[in-house]
C-alpha cells in the first residue's frame, strides 16, 4: 500500500537533459541549475541507499548527489539545496547544527536535535504513548516498559514494583548505529535480568502471531518519506505461551529477525498474510508523529496484538532506515526531494 503525493514536473531542456518530461530545474540564482543534494552517510548506508538505479533516476530528474568531505569545512562545500545525513559521531552533530543555523536556505534532512530524540528507546516512543491514539479504525499504543539506567541488581524489585508482565524484551536504551545497540534479549523471569548491562529498557513482550500458517509473528514496517507512507510486512518473533513461560527461566539473546532481508522482495511477505493496519489509522499516526518528531525520514515498527483485529503497538521508531529495501523507493525518494525544493520555491515572495 503506498500513498503518494503527485507533483507536477517541467521540461529539462535548459540543462541539456534529454528533454524527458520528468526532468526538472530548480534554481537558487536562476533557471538551469540542478537540484544538488550533499550527503554525509556511513559506507554501509551509501551502499544500501545510493544504489545505481536510484542515482540514475535522480540524474534523469535533475538531482545530483555530492559526497560531503568530512575533512573539510562544510561551509566551504556546496552550495547545496539539501543536505541528507545519518552519522552518529558527536562532532558531526555540532557541525550540521551550526551549518543549519547559518544556512536557512538549505533543507537539512533532518534537524539533529529531532533525530537524537529517536536515539533513545524511551524518548522515541514517548510521542506515541502521549498520543494514545484510538478511534473507530482501531487503537495504537506502546507496550508497557521500564528504563533501568544503572544498578542491575535493582531490576527484579523495579519490575515487580512496576507490575510489568513477563516475558520482557530487554533492549539497550541508546541507539547509536552499533550492532550492540541492536542486541536484544527475551527474559522469562525478572531475576535473570540482573545479568544484563544497563542502561536498558525493559518492554513487555506482546504476542502477535497470526492464527494461520506461519510460525512467528508479523511485524509491519511503516516507511515514511515526507508525505508518503509505505507499509511492508516482515518476519517477527513467535509467541511465548504460558506453558513455555512456566517452564523456562533465564534471558536469551535473539537475532535481528525483522531487518535481515537484503531486498524488499526478500523482506516482503505474501500480501495475503496479515491484513495491513487500517490506512486512516496509519495516516493519523504518521501525521501526528511527523509533526511531533519534526522529521520526515523515519520508519515505525508496529505489531498487531494477538487475537485482535485493530489493537496495535509501536515498538520501535528508526531514523533514516533502510529505504533501499522499500518497494519503489527510487521514485518515492526522488519525488520527495523535488517536492521539498518546489515547496520552498513556491513559498518565496515573488519579486
CA dihedral (131, 135, 139, 140) positive or negative: negative
Which part of the chain contacts ligand 5MY (CB under 6 A), choosing from 95-103, 253-261, 284-292, 343-351?
Answer: 253-261
Residue 318 assigned ligand-binding role: yes
x/- binding map, residues 247-286, to Mg ion, per CB under 5 A? ----------------------------------------
Q: Given phi > 0 = left and psi -120 to 50 = alpha, else beta, which region is 151?
A: left
Site size toward ligand 5MY (CB under 6 A) is 19
Instruction: Quote the least distance from Cβ 250 to ligand ADP, whole Å.
Output: 18
Q: Are 146 and 156 in contact (CB under 8 A)?
A: no
Q: Please report how close the Cβ of residue 63 comes to ligand 5MY at its closest, in angstroms.
A: 21
The SS3 call for residue 61 is: coil
Per CB under 6 A, 317 contacts ligand 5MY: no
Which entry of ligand 5MY, ligand ADP, Mg ion, none binds 299, CB below 5 to 8 A by partner kind? ligand 5MY
Among 81, 110, 190, 316, the residue binding ligand 5MY under the rule CB under 6 A is 316
Q: Are 318 and 299 in contact (CB under 8 A)?
A: yes
Q: Which is nearer to ligand ADP, 100 or 171 (CB)?
A: 171
Q: Considering the complex, state which of residue 23 and residue 258 has its C-beta at the smaller distance from ligand 5MY.
A: 258
- Give the strand pairing for 138-141 and 133-135: antiparallel
Q: Looking at 27, 318, 339, 344, which residue binds ligand 5MY (CB under 6 A)? A: 318
In the chain the beta strands, taken as DSSP E runs, fall at 2-3, 35-41, 63-67, 82-86, 107-109, 133-135, 138-141, 145-148, 168-172, 184-187, 200-204, 218-225, 228-235, 251-254, 297-304, 311-319
Q: What are the backbone angles phi and psi of residue 88, rounded to the nearest 5°?
A: -110, 10
Q: Is 207 annotated as a binding residue?
A: yes
Pick 4 or 318: Cβ nearer Mg ion:
318
Question: 81, 110, 316, 335: which one contacts Mg ion (CB under 5 A)?
Answer: 316
Task: Round to the nearest angstrom and report the end-to-end CA distance of the chain.
Answer: 42
40 binds, among ligand ADP, ligand 5MY, Mg ion, none (CB under 5 to 8 A by kind): none
Looking at the Cβ atoms of 86 and 117, the one nearer to ligand 5MY is 86
Q: What is the DSSP letter of 277?
A: P
70 in a known ligand binding site: no
**Does 351 sit behind a cis peptide bond, omega within 30 degrees of 0 on the bond before it?**
no
Taking the CA atoms of the chain, what radius of gyration do you get in angstroms?
22
DSSP state, residue 136: T
Does residue 81 interact with Mg ion by CB under 5 A? no
Residue 34 binds ligand 5MY (CB under 6 A): no
Residue 307 annotated as binding? Answer: no
Using CB under 6 A as the criterion, which residues of the chain lie in contact with ligand ADP when the complex forms?
143, 169, 171, 182, 184, 203, 205-206, 208, 219, 236-237, 256-259, 301, 303, 315-316
Q: How many CB atoms lie within 10 A of CB 315?
A: 24
Q: Say if residues 326 and 264 touch (Cβ distance below 8 Å).
A: yes
Q: Residue 12 touches which of ligand 5MY, Mg ion, ligand ADP, none (CB < 5 to 8 A by kind)?
A: none
- Which residues contribute to the annotated binding site for Mg(2+)? 301, 316, 318
- In the complex, the residues that contact ligand 5MY under the rule CB under 6 A are 42, 44-45, 48, 86, 175, 177, 221, 256, 258-259, 299, 301, 316, 318, 320-322, 325
Amino acid at each position: 500500500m503506498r500513498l503518494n503525493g503527485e507533483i507536477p514536473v517541467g521540461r529539462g531542456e535548459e540543462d541539456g537533459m534529454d528533454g524527458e518530461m520528468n526532468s526538472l530545474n530548480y534554481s537558487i540564482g536562476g533557471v538551469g541549475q540542478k537540484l544538488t543534494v550533499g550527503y554525509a552517510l556511513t559506507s554501509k548506508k551509501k551502499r544500501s541507499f545510493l544504489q545505481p538505479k536510484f542515482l540514475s533516476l535522480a540524474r534523469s530528474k535533475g538531482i545530483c548527489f555530492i559526497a560531503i568531505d568530512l575533512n573539510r569545512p562544510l561551509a566551504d562545500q556546496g552550495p547545496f539545496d539539501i543536505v541528507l545525513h545519518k552519522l552518529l559521531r558527536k562532532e558531526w552533530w555540532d557541525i550540521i547544527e551550526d551549518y543549519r543555523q547559518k544556512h536557512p536556505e538549505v533543507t537539512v534532512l533532518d534537524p539533529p536535535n529531532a533525530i537524537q530524540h529517536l536515539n533513545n528507546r524511551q524518548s522515541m516512543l514517548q510521542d506515541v504513548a502521549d498520543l494514545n491514539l484510538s478511534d473507530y479504525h482501531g487503537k495504537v499504543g506502546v507496550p508497557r516498559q521500564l528504563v533501568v539506567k544503572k544498578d542491575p541488581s535493582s531490576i527484579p524489585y523495579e519490575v515487580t514494583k512496576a507490575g510489568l508482565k513477563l516475558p520482557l524484551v530487554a533492549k539497550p536504551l541508546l541507539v547509536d548505529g552499533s550492532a550492540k545497540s541492536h542486541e536484544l534479549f527475551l527474559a522469562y523471569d525478572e531475576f535473570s535480568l540482573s545479568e544484563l548491562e544497563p542502561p536498558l529498557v525493559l518492554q513487555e513482550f506482546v504476542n502477535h502471531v497470526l492464527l494461520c500458517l506461519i510460525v512467528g509473528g508479523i511485524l509491519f514496517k511503516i516507511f515514511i518519506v515526507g508525505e508518503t507512507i509505505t507499509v511492508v510486512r516482515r518476519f517477527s518473533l513467535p509467541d511465548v505461551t504460558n506453558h513455555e513461560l512456566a517452564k523456562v527461566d533465564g534471558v536469551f539473546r535473539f537475532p535481528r529477525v525483522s531487518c535481515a532481508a537484503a531486498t524488499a522482495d526478500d523482506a516482503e511477505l505474501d500480501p495475503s498474510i496479515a491484513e495491513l493496519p487500517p490506512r486512516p489509522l496509519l495516516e493519523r499516526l504518521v501525521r501526528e508523529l511527523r509533526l511531533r518528531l519534526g522529521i520526515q525520514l523515519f520508519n515505525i515498527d508496529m505489531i498487531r496484538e494477538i487475537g485482535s483485529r485493530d489493537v496495535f503497538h509501536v515498538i520501535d521508531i528508526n531514523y533514516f532506515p533502510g529505504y533501499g529495501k522499500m518497494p519503489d523507493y527510487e521514485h518515492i525518494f526522488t519525488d520527495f526531494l523535488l517536492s521539498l525544493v518546489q515547496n520552498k520555491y513556491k513559498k518565496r515572495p515573488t519579486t
